[in-house]
A and B are shown apart, each in its own frame.
Chain A
Amino acid sequence: MSIATVEKPTAAEPPRRSITNQRNASDKRFRAVVTSGAMFAFVVLALIAGFLLFRGYEVFREFGFGFLTSSTWDSGTGESLQGASYGVAAMLVGSIIVALMAMIIALPFVIGTSLFLEYYIGKKIRAVLVSILDLMAAIPSIIYGLWGYLVLMPHAAGWASTINKYFGWIPIFKVDVKNFDASPFISALVLGLMIIPIASSVTREVYSRAPQDQISAAYALGGSRWGALKAVVLPFGRSGLIGGMLLGLGRALGETVAVLLTLNLVFKVKFQVLASAGGNVASLIASRFGEAGPSEIKALMAAGLVLFTLTLLVNFGASIIVSRSAKVSQ
């Protein structure tokens, strides 16, 4: 037998072969399961959005953009939207303020907890503390709320008063009336505590994967432990920290019951975080839903849609930031 030489194609290129692939039965079945599972999640998400839009649609038609910019919440006769006046500006601003403050309060604790667990204690104690941390993440928010209301608030009101005394010249620490209970500050403390476990859990996981050879390099250069952490672990773990914090932000934005117990809802846009007045979309819905008439129900649905959109936007932004900073720390 001889080997035939392959002739070079002269004029037309031969047609390219398409990829053919016979899937076997179990592959097909698995594919179907996975696909339908994924589709189901998307369908549910779309249905929720559709439901909120359907129920809240009239409100947006009636009040337009004013629903986002006004802060009055008046159900009028209660039967129809005519004569009523709804706007979520105060609640929306309040939600964002409380969530952001919670993040600021939680951040140093999250970094500290994660570094401590991963780099300052032995394996055995770490295992114990990590499971306690995971347990804390599983505590229902009503518990945090009750604890915040009964235990934390009496003390925290005192701290707020002290902050006000020394830093009252900063606009956000001013108060008009010296009542420091149920303020955005106290709510944010509770939320901050609530998100530390979940955010630390994610962050610690990423910190633990920091490359050992770079840590060795930092030590070999005469670095202290803190120096090595700063040079290697913190930059490496930045995407994890951002991811963990945004997971916490998602929880803080949507948190209902803990805020309901610790925040005095007031329909007025306020930036005085120590004062006993704030806003929160989720708590608004929970607090009004029980006794709302037909028109107010529609307004609450519209408020739900606003919250839903806000959370989606935050998560969307989060994934962009995480993927960007993950690239940087490669």
Chain B
Amino acid sequence: MENDDINLVVNATNTNAVTGGNVLDEGRVGTNGLQTKGIHVWFGKHHVLEDISLDFPANSVTGLIGPSGCGKSTFLRVLNRMHEFIPGAAMAGEVFLDGEEIYGPKVDVTAMRLKVGMVFQKPNPFPSMTIAENVLAGLKLANIKVQDKDSLLEECLTRAGLWKEVKDRLKLSGSSLSGGQQQRLCIARALAVKPKVLLMDEPCSALDPASTLKVEETIVQLSADMTIVVVTHNMQQAARVSDFCAFFLSDGGPGQVVEADRTAVIFSSPSDQRTADYVQGRFG
């Protein structure tokens, strides 16, 4: 096994699996969800992430927590190959989506990104498009034809918790909405291409408390049939929405996963003292 003892792994089927040694359950590879094995990332010579092996079971929410700069966003980008747009970025390791390598030689990256959607920290609707066009933008970008656009539009906006607020102004520009609404519009846009996985990088950090609650509700509802990975700096949020948590930390060197387990375990009885200190707000 190539994983060393600090890489602990989330496992849906075996809740007690996280102590000490390596727990990546071989049986899980090849089943549903997202797995990473031995992920390293470099920006030029700067080694940013070291040997991250995590397992994100299907239809669950996993929170990535840790102080800023430890590589959470970078790790998230590796999960849908968005880091490839950063000049000088390089990675090693493997990422499996439903058992298939997304870095394989025959993989069509754009098709893969349709399955692994992303919501960014700052809401980024397309300002030149209307609200409706924004939601359906992914279909147009990927040349996907749908029979009934109106019902898809309503479905996505409803799932993103925005339908009631915008149903009478679908023809207005996407930038006419408030920040919280724009973020939910971006979630609706990501949903329209029916991804299996949704990656969210601090989706609420630019939002007010009321919008934050709405987005959190949305996350919980979406996880019924979607695998969600969400980076958050807000411990309450991690506790509220996630089923599993992975604690990232960099002690000057590359970022590593200190501990990963069920959220309840991370918050009540973490096995590493540093995790306990972080979730109780003693550093970071």
Across-interface contacts of B141 in A (CB, < 8 A):
218, 221-224, 227-228, 231
Residue on B with the closest CB to A211? B124
- In whole Å, how far is A238's beta carbon from the nearest beta carbon of chain B? 8
**Chain B interface residue bracket vs A:** 20 to 34
Closest Cβ of chain A to B132, distance in Å, is 15
Segment 63-115 of B: residues with Cβ below 8 Å from A: 80, 82, 85, 110-111, 113-114
Residues of A close to B122: CB separation below 8 A:
213
Considering only CB atoms and an 8 Å cut-off, how many residues of chain A contact the other chain?
Answer: 21
* CB–CB B128/A217 < 8 A: no
* Distance of A182 Cα from B202 Cα, bound (Å): 64
CB distance from A232 to the nearest CB of B (A): 7
B186 within 8 A of A: yes
Q: Does A60 contact B (CB under 8 A)?
A: no
Would you give the 0/1 interface string for A314-330, flagging 1 where the beta carbon is closer than 8 Å to chain B?
A: 00000000000000111
Q: Is B271 close to A, CB under 8 A? A: no
- Asked whether B42 is an interface residue with its Cβ less than 8 Å from the other chain, the reply is no
Chain A residues with CB under 8 Å of B110's CB are: 222-224
Contact of A220 with B126 in the complex, beta carbons under 8 Å: no
Inter-chain contacts of B137 with A (CB < 8 A): 218, 221, 231
* A80 on interface, CB distance cutoff 8 Å: no
Contact call A221/B124, Cβ cutoff below 8 A: no
Q: Output the least CB separation between A177 and chain B (Å).
A: 48
Main DSSP-derived SS at the A contact region: helix
Interface of chain A residues 196 through 220 with chain B (CB within 8 A): 211, 213-214, 216-220
A235, CB-defined interface residue at 8 Å: yes
Given known pairs A219-B85, A221-B117, A221-B189, the reply for A231 and B142 (CB within 8 Å) is: no
List A contacts of B128 (CB < 8 A): 232, 235-236, 328-329
Residues of B close to A227: CB separation below 8 A:
140-142
Q: Can you pick out 19 interface pairs between chain A and chain B where the beta carbons lie within 8 Å of each other? A: A211-B124, A213-B124, A220-B113, A220-B120, A220-B190, A221-B113, A221-B138, A221-B190, A223-B138, A224-B110, A231-B141, A232-B128, A235-B126, A235-B128, A236-B127, A328-B128, A329-B127, A329-B128, A330-B175
Q: A221-B138, A227-B142 are in contact. List 8 more A-B contacts (CB 8 A).
A: A218-B141, A220-B80, A222-B110, A224-B141, A228-B141, A232-B126, A236-B128, A329-B127
